[in-house]
Amino acid sequence: MATATEKPAKKVARPKIRQTQCFIGGKWLDAASGKTFDTIHPATEEVIAKVAEGDKADIDLAVDAARAQFDGGEWSRMNARERGRLMYKLADLIEEEADELAALETLDNGKPINDSRNADIPLVIDCIRYYAGWADKIQGSTIPVSGDYFCYTRREPVGVVGQIIPWNFPALMAAWKWGPALATGCTIVMKPAEQTPLTCLRMAHLAQKAGIPDGVINVVPGYGPTAGAALVAHPGVDKIAFTGEGATAKIIQRSALETMKRVTFELGGKSPNVVFADADLDAAIHGAHFALYFNQGQCCCAGSRLFVQDKIHDEFVDRLQDLNKSRRIGDPFDPETEQGPQVDQAQFDKILKYVEYGKEDGAKLVNGGARHGDKGYFIEPTMFTGVKDDMRIAKEEIFGPVMSVLKFSDVDEIARRANATNDGLAAAVWTRDIAKAHRFANKLRAGTVWINCYDVFDAAAPFGGFKESGLGRELGEAGLAAYTELKTVTVAMN
């Protein structure tokens, strides 16, 4: 993940909110039911906008628009290089509005403006540009088959794709989904998270401004059991891409099976972050702190299980505690703020419940564990030591600023302990012994392994999980596969 090093010179003003309706077939529409829902600024708990609450009727309209564009419109038949050009234009427009989009992200999600402006939005731009470059490079191959035949393959767009994204990186998750879908010639119906729909809606406006044809991108805000379920069940949708909780993915998978939809899932994690005694301690301590507390701990790949070798455990914990105590919590529009609020009341309550679980199970609360301030969903950076592998805070995804520190001494057993989870999204290892690092990385059952770093993302590098952390991959060339069908063509040559 790009780190937020450049800071705005002064407190950033709140942005204007322009798009709050459904975007369907190039038109801004109220929900068919007329319903709206509130979107909340989590730092103050105030309503910042009322957003159209789409449901099955709106999903039907959106799928019809996407289907008409795919089956009879110009997008999937457009010269691939022209598709790429329009995607580059979209990236350029996002870059022109980077400050406003960052402020909108901070308003809706609560993340610090420094993170929105210097991490999230630059990664959005880079992702769209990366996949724009792929648009005219998706190709098949010729195959030498037996007999007097000419055989070749084609990569064709899978069709209409339903995309459901979470609230932790709203703009970036939209870009991760849009990029490969647009490059391959698919059309899109997206349901953003109900907590954070505003940047996705603004990006849809920019896509239209860039010249991407109407019906290619459709956005229907709403709730999972209504809009999301209707999208998954719709027979006019060819594929579902979902990022979120594993329990929801299982519901989606069962529903998608009825129409044999292709599915890709990027799900949760309980990622092990393993620090050996021979590590660069300064780098490892700051890396471990970033691995868990970045984005208020609301990262699917957060390094929430910190394994520290016994020889350095006490010093490591003391220095982490100092970083926690010095972490600046507050107004996310203040460029000096390092930690903002959790996204909503439900997440706030869940995290504090897990703090109580940690105490009940016998872990030692070293610092934090309480609400910060009296307004907004702020929680202090929290750390437990004395954590055992079978404790709830070590086994279950918390998705908040709660670190579990586990001590180890036996190098031969640490890989087994690191892998002792149903998840397998990410992991990290810190050591100066690069041979040991590679050997250890080979043992880890995780889709991404970082060595002497954490949360390093690039649009070119595939991301996804082993085990219950997902199906398929996003980003990189690998991310294109789920948005294409492979067609074999065989021609008699006699």
Give the 3-state secondary structure of residue 120.
helix
How many CB atoms are closer than 10 A to CB 297? 25
266 is an active site residue: yes
On whether the CB atoms of residues 180 and 209 are closer than 8 A, the answer is no
CB 405 within 8 A of CB 387: yes
* Contact assessment for residue 397 and residue 376, using Cβ atoms and an 8 Å cutoff: no
48-83: burial string, b at 16+ Cβ within 10 Å, e else: bbebbbbbbebbbbbbbbbbbbbeebebbebebeeb
Rounded CA-CA distance 297/428 in Å is: 16
Backbone angles phi, psi at 49, to 5 degrees: -165, 155
Active-site residue identified among 53, 105, 194, 266? 266
* SS3 call for 249: helix
* Catalytic residue (choose from 127, 299, 300, 301): 300
Q: DSSP characters for 254-303?
A: HHHHTTT-EEEEE-----EEEE-TTS-HHHHHHHHHHHHHGGGG--TT--
Is the alpha carbon torsion for 458, 460, 466, 469 positive or negative? positive
Active site (annotated) includes residue 299: no
- SS3 for 248? helix
* Residue 327, helix vs strand vs coil: coil
Chain-centre distance of CA 215, in angstroms?
Answer: 24
Residues serving a catalytic function are 266, 300
